[in-house]
């Protein structure tokens, strides 16, 4: 007879598989679509493994295995940027991805260990405890050491029953609610006869239903629709900064499209112009500026700015009639790609990534105002940080009517990074009830409406232009209101508050 798999061995087998399922839920391989049910299922498996772990140490290990597999499976494509384009040796690139996943996964491992240590006398109280600790781990990953929140569990709930919570509590709040449901499902076999269990579960379900089905309209049309051209140059990443190939191709192609545009606004992606202004051919930038400072058209184009003395910025330049050039400088920089963390100069020296150390722009920079719209640029990775974008909503009269994301995901090849980033932009559209337009080098160049629906999208890895209209919106969602004033502190409090009674009870039980 085949021996039965012991429960402990089963948990150790399930945890990493569930972690990989969590990674897939953000953007399913093949379709690239989010799968809320898979995120909930994988998190339920983790909750069950931690709840039934034989010890605090085992809970720590199971959660660490889950989180390391989840995060490595989510951003494995960092390997491509470091090895294929950065020139880092393949073993070192793979080890770097795994080390980052393991480090960030330790937040969830410690959360699981605390959950196991604080196991309440009444099992149904474990539901808010697990959700609170999950939320704290997500917040730590998203904020500490500049933060790397890519692939947060809440992104999987786009197009799912929890997406209506985004304008109220944001992506981290959705993750908190999903974790509560996951722990409740994991406890169902033990608690299905408990009245309190069903009352608690029913109450949460009714609150979610009320928030998602009966939500008020807090947005309204702003001005008239704006005709827009989004440019996608598809400059090969390994040639993008090469002086004899990618640079002249980019200057010629983007220059021709900018000068030949006919829509009210034309947007070129991150570092579409791959040289500093002082490095450009004579009159190149002046000719483009002259084109848009007269007439009735405007342009937003990505390019680096600065000098050796003053430092460099990853920026967006805005040109429109009758005004000086607008400038937006990226605030939230990518570690190793755009700034070098302390003590890691040796690591970046192993790679050949250009423009690797930028200055930061301030939070809450002004919008680019044109034809009744307030267009708020953000550059690539920084649209992960909704709490920073929220800083622009302090004054309703100056808050953005449209978000403009300019990106270059070409660093990560033809991978799910493109789909994941599209979903990140869609979540920002939901949180703020604002349309998002995206101009990228290789994809996904798209129009997203204020309800997070992709209305138009250009084929990936194709050179061309996507023409459409964007309808700006005004008004302030609850998330935009409180995040603009308090940042993420309300969520930190939600994460800490359910743990205090258990911690006090544990302290009273401790021997003196």
Kindly report, residue by residue over 265-318, the tens digit of the pLDDT. Answer: 999 999 999 999 999 999 999 999 999 988 899 999 999 999 888 889 999 999
H or E element, residue 440: strand 436-440
For residues 217 and 344, give the distance between their C-alpha atoms in angstroms, rounded to a whole number. Answer: 48
Structure tokens at 49: 């493994």
- For 115-130, how does the pLDDT look when each residue is reduced to its tens digit (9 = 90+)? 999 877 677 678 889 9
Domain that holds residue 186: 7-217+489-509
> Domain check: are 311 and 380 in the same one?
yes
Q: What is the pTM of this model?
A: 0.93
Q: Which of 320, 338, 380, 474 is catalytic?
A: 380
Please report whether residue 294 resides in a domain: yes
Structure tokens at 130: 């697990």
Please report whether residue 481 resides in a domain: no
- Assess whether pLDDT exceeds 80 at residue 139: yes
- Assess whether pLDDT exceeds 50 at residue 2: no
For residues 299 and 317, give the distance between their C-alpha atoms in angstroms, rounded to a whole number. Answer: 8
> Domain check: are 273 and 314 in the same one?
yes
> Domain check: are 124 and 233 in the same one?
no
For residues 313 and 332, give the distance between their C-alpha atoms in angstroms, rounded to a whole number. Answer: 11
For residue 198, what pLDDT is reported?
83
> Domain check: are 156 and 125 in the same one?
yes
Q: Which of 49, 163, 240, 270 is catalytic?
A: 270
Please report whether residue 284 resides in a domain: yes
Q: Is 294 a catalytic residue?
A: no
CA-based radius of gyration for the chain: 24
> Domain check: are 186 and 262 in the same one?
no
- CATH at 366: 3.60.110.10
Please report whether residue 178 resides in a domain: yes
> Domain check: are 231 and 143 in the same one?
no
The residue among 273, 237, 223 whose CA lies nearest residue 401 is 223
For residues 317 and 239, give the distance between their C-alpha atoms in angstroms, rounded to a whole number. Answer: 23
Q: Is 69 a catalytic residue?
A: no
Whole-angstrom CA distances from 424 to 27, 384, 418, 509 are 11, 6, 10, 45
Q: How many domains does the chain have?
A: 2
> Domain check: are 161 and 298 in the same one?
no
> Domain check: are 500 and 395 in the same one?
no
Whole-angstrom CA distances from 389 to 112, 165, 266, 330, 487 are 31, 18, 22, 12, 10
For residue 509, what pLDDT is reported?
63
Confirm if 63 and 46 have CB atoms less than 8 A apart.
yes
Label residue 487 by pLDDT band (50, 70, 90): very high
Label residue 172 by pLDDT band (50, 70, 90): very high
> Domain check: are 467 and 323 in the same one?
yes
Please report whether residue 1 resides in a domain: no
> Domain check: are 168 and 253 in the same one?
no
- Assess whether pLDDT exceeds 80 at residue 113: yes
- Assess whether pLDDT exceeds 90 at residue 175: yes
Label residue 209 by pLDDT band (50, 70, 90): confident
Please report whether residue 316 resides in a domain: yes
Please report whether residue 483 resides in a domain: no
Considering only residues 206 and 319, tell me which one the structure prediction assigns the higher pLDDT: 319
For residue 339, what pLDDT is reported?
62
Q: Which of 138, 320, 330, 431 is catalytic?
A: 330
Considering only residues 308 and 356, tell me which one the structure prediction assigns the higher pLDDT: 308
> Domain check: are 150 and 265 in the same one?
no
Q: How many CA atoms lie within 13 A of 353 on its CB side?
A: 27
Please report whether residue 179 resides in a domain: yes
Label residue 1 by pLDDT band (50, 70, 90): very low
| Sequence-separated contacts (24+) of 44-48 with Cβ below 8 Å | 44/182, 44/183, 44/185, 44/186, 45/14, 45/15, 45/17, 45/18, 45/21, 45/186, 46/15, 46/18, 46/19, 46/22, 46/112, 46/182, 47/130, 47/179, 47/182, 47/183, 47/185, 47/186, 47/187, 48/186
Task: Report the mean per-residue pLDDT for the chain.
Answer: 90
Considering only residues 200 and 511, tell me which one the structure prediction assigns the higher pLDDT: 200
DSSP secondary structure letters along 378-427: EEGGGGG-HHHHGGGGSSGGGS-SEEEEEE-GGGG-SSTHHHHHHHHHHH
**Exposure of 68 by Cβ count < 10 A (0-12 exposed, 13-18 middle, 19+ buried)?**
buried
> Domain check: are 208 and 327 in the same one?
no
Mean per-residue pLDDT, 134-161: 95
For residues 219 and 2, give the distance between their C-alpha atoms in angstroms, rounded to a whole number. Answer: 62
In this structure, of 60-74, 306-320, 339-353, the range with the lowest mean pLDDT score is 339-353
């Amino acid at each position: 007879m085949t021996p039965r798999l012991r429960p402990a061995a089963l948990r150790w087998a399930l945890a990493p598989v569930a972690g990989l399922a969590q990674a897939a839920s953000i953007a399913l391989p093949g379709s690239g679509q989010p799968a809320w049910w898979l995120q909930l299922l994988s998190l339920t498996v983790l909750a069950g493994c931690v709840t039934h772990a034989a010890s605090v140490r085992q809970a720590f290990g199971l959660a660490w295995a889950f989180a390391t597999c989840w995060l490595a499976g989510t951003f494995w494509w960092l390997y491509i940027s470091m090895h294929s384009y950065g020139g880092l040796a393949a073993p070192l690139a793979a080890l770097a991805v795994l080390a980052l996943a393991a480090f960030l996964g330790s937040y969830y491992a410690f959360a699981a260990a605390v959950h196991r240590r604080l196991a309440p006398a009444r099992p149904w109280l474990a539901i808010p405890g697990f959700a609170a600790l999950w939320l704290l781990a997500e917040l730590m990953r998203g904020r500490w050491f500049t933060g790397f929140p890519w692939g947060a569990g809440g992104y999987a709930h786009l197009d799912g029953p929890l997406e209506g919570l985004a304008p109220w509590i944001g992506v981290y709040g959705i993750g908190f609610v999903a974790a509560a449901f996951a722990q409740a499902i994991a406890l169902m076999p033990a608690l299905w006869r408990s009245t309190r269990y069903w009352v608690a579960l029913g109450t949460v379900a009714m609150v979610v239903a009320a928030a998602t089905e009966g939500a008020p309209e807090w947005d309204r049309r702003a001005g008239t629709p704006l005709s827009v051209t989004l440019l996608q140059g598809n400059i090969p990443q390994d040639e993008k900064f090469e002086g004899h190939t990618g640079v002249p191709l980019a200057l010629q192609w983007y220059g021709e499209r900018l000068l030949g545009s006919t829509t009210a606004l034309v947007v070129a992606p991150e570092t579409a112009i791959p040289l500093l202004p002082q490095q450009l051919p004579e009159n190149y930038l002046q000719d483009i500026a002259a084109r848009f400072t007269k007439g009735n058209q405007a342009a937003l184009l990505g390019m680096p700015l600065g000098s050796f003395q003053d430092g460099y910025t990853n920026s967006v330049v805005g040109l429109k009639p009758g005004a000086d050039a607008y400038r937006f400088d990226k605030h939230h920089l990518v570690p190793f790609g755009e700034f070098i963390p302390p003590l890691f100069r040796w690591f970046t020296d192993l790679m050949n990534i250009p423009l690797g150390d930028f200055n930061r722009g301030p939070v809450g920079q002004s919008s680019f105002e044109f034809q009744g719209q307030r267009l708020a640029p953000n550059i690539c990775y920084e649209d992960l940080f909704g709490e920073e974008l929220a800083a622009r909503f302090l004054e309703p009269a100056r808050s953005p009517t449209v978000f403009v994301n300019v990106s270059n995901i070409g660093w990560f090849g033809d991978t799910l990074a493109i789909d994941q980033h599209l979903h990140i932009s869609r979540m920002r559209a939901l949180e703020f009830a604002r349309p998002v337009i995206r101009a990228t080098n290789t994809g996904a160049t798209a129009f997203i409406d204020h309800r997070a629906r992709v209305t138009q999208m250009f084929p990936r890895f194709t050179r061309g232009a996507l023409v459409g209209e964007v309808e700006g919106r005004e008004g302030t969602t609850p998330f935009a209101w409180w995040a603009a004033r308090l940042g993420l502190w309300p969520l930190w409090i939600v994460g800490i508050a359910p743990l205090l009674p258990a911690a006090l009870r544990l302290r009273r039980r401790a021997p003196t």
